[in-house]
Amino acid sequence: MKFDILIAGVGGQGVVLASRLLATAAIDAGYHVATAETIGMAQREGSVTSHVRIGDEVCGSLIPAGNADLIIGLEPAEAARNIHFLSKDGSIVVNEHAVIPSASANNTEYIPEQVIEFLKENCQETINVDFTQLAKEAGTYRAANVAMLAAAAGADLLPFDPDELWSVLEKMVPEKYRELNRKAFDMSLEKVSDIRRA
């Protein structure tokens, strides 16, 4: 068994934390795991990607182009920027909430809806939700990364189920943030269930 996940976003969105949560869940499920982060700029809003490779045997920590089974895009443009990693049968979970780079705040050419359409045209299964808004409704936009992991687990796009994932989150998320994260997690599971029923 092998399962490669690429998480893409910008600084401050919790890409590295999300990869650590997935890696820990995979280890708890009995798999070998290798991870690697590439951080374009060590500052807020710089591109950040994390490679999470799960399997019975894992060779190398970076996912080769065309091999990712799943891309979790915390920001639409960052998901599109990394789509060359996706396998032809891969899936994408993408946040509809765009982060406009501060250096190009007046850039009117970045239209997130067009980026989402591009992702849908180039992927067999794309789940797109404004996870930032969903997390805000749960109590904090900072839980958007947790909501996205829940969506991936709820859509059966991970090699472990939502309960296994939550048991890791429960251990790793500080107690004072646990209730908010649990709410975002459950709201995301419900949202994905509604999407699948539609």
What residue segments make up the domains of the chain, in order of their start?
3-98+109-197
Domain 3-98+109-197, architecture per CATH: 3-Layer(aba) Sandwich (3.40)
Least confident of 8-12, 65-69, 164-168: 8-12
Q: With bands split at pLDDT 50, 70 and 90, how would you rate the model's confidence at 100? A: confident
**DSSP annotation string for 142-198:** GGHHHHHHHHHHHTT-SSS-HHHHHHHHHHHS-HHHHHHHHHHHHHHHHHHHHHHH-
| pLDDT on residue 108 | 65
Length of the chain: 198
> What are the tens digits of pLDDT across the range 124-170?
999 999 999 999 999 999 999 999 999 999 999 999 999 999 999 99
